[in-house]
Amino acid sequence: MTASWDRTVADHRASTRSRIIAAAMAHMLEHGMAGASMTAIAESAEVSRPTLYKHFPDVDHIMAAVVEEEFAAFRARVDIELAPDWPAIRKLEALIRLHVQQYGSEPDRLGEGSFEAGISPVVREAVQRQLADHHARIVAILQDGIADGSFRDDLDPDLHAELLQHVLGGLRHTVHRTDRNLEALADDVSALLLRGLGGSREPGGLQDGVGQ
């Protein structure tokens, strides 16, 4: 009986937390992170302020949870789309395409830098944790490409992964400021980056991969 009750309480707590994060995400999509308040989020999530404070100490920690949820969702999609046995070049092409698709699915407000500009130290720390995880993934792809000879052997995986992250992050602005077809844009970015990395395969060849 006690175990069953504990599960019920845990499920209710998890459900309430998810509802709070969803309400905060809806606020961010409409208004950005600026102006978010515990009162507004509590009302939107249909929970009391005391209940809200049981889950999060302040609005910054709610927004940090939103960031982590969004990154986790993108990471899960990457895990599904990138087959472990794909060659490094194909993985990188797919990763570029997923970034373009992700930015294309976001409202323009996110393209104005909602995750990066004017955020609190708590949120910034959450972003940096998630970016570090993504950095490690790109490093692994570059290392595989160097090992199989598809990328230049003079690459510094850590440095070049950081440079790639800057390019991929900057694509958010480009996606929201161009009328170009997103698939064509992803191909253009792939061609540019693969040429610099020493990749010889022509981009856009994912016939059974991402975006097809």
71-108 confidence digits (pLDDT tens): 999 999 999 999 999 999 999 999 999 999 999 987 65
Residues 88, 27 share a domain: no
pLDDT at 116: 53
Range of the domain at 32: 1-56
Count of domains observed in the chain: 2
This prediction has a pTM of 0.81
Q: What is the mean pLDDT of residues 17-37?
A: 84
Residue 97 included in any domain: yes
Give the pLDDT confidence of 100-127 residue by residue, as tens digits.
Answer: 999 998 765 443 444 455 678 999 999 9
pLDDT at 6: 55
Residues 29, 118 share a domain: no
User: Mean of the per-residue pLDDT values for the chain?
Assistant: 85
Residue 207 included in any domain: no
Nearest-angstrom CA–CA distance, 152 and 193: 12
Collect all residues with Cβ–Cβ distance below 8 Å to 206 and sequence separation of at least 6: 90, 93, 94, 97, 212
Residues 36 and 63: beta-carbon distance below 8 Å: yes
Domain holding 132: CATH number?
1.10.357.10
